[in-house]
Amino acid sequence: MAWLEETLAASDGLVIVAFHHPPFACGFHGSTGSVIETWVPLFEQYGVDLVLNGHEHSYERFGIAGVTYIVTGGAGQGLRPFKTCPAGTPGSIQRDAEHHHYVLLEIGAEGIEATAIAVGGTIIDRTVITDP
């Protein structure tokens, strides 16, 4: 925890954080309370731009307090349908449990463009994240 806080405090420019269990999710496993309690406040405090997670076998995007959260777990194993979101989970901006996919990140001077692309090339979702 100390390492994470020190690293985020020293960050400059666009900041991307990636780890396995998503704080917010409406899939098979749902949200991860311990991540919400301990890490989400740090992401907000230190201006993290993008948080990438897996664990769920689906795609979901959230926007909370200036942080974009993308759950992308549709690249290999069987897909799982969404469930009712756990209490306190914000509504997702976009979601898909029907397509295996990957997320392409294009990082440039203007910010980060994140595009979720289904096998076969169909675009599931696209968002642009800029450093305020």
Q: Provide the CATH number for the domain around residue 71.
A: 3.30.750.180
Q: What is the pLDDT of residue 39?
A: 97
| 70 occurs within a structural domain | yes
Range of the domain at 10: 2-97
Q: Is there a domain that residue 115 lies in?
A: no
Compute the half-sphere exposure of residue 86: CA atoms within 13 Å on the CB side of its CA: 14
Alpha-carbon gap, residue 27 to 79, rounded angstroms? 10
Interatomic CA distance for residues 113 and 115, integer angstroms: 6
On whether residue 102 sits in a domain, the answer given is no
pLDDT of residue 93: 96
Structure tokens at 47: 């201006």
Please report whether residue 128 resides in a domain: no
User: Does residue 24 belong to any structural domain of this protein?
Assistant: yes
| Residue 105 resides in a domain | no
Tell whether 123 is covered by a domain.
no
37 in a structural domain? yes
Closest CA to 68 of 53, 55, 49: 49
> Which residue, 94, 92, 101, is CA-closest to 72?
101
Local confidence band at 11 (pLDDT 50, 70, 90 cut-offs) = very high
Among 112, 12, 124, 8, smallest CA distance to 68 is for 112
* Domain tally, the chain: 1
What pLDDT, in 10s, does the model give residues 28-80? 999 999 999 999 999 999 999 999 999 999 999 999 999 999 999 988 889 99
List pLDDT tens digits, range 83-100. 999 888 999 999 999 999
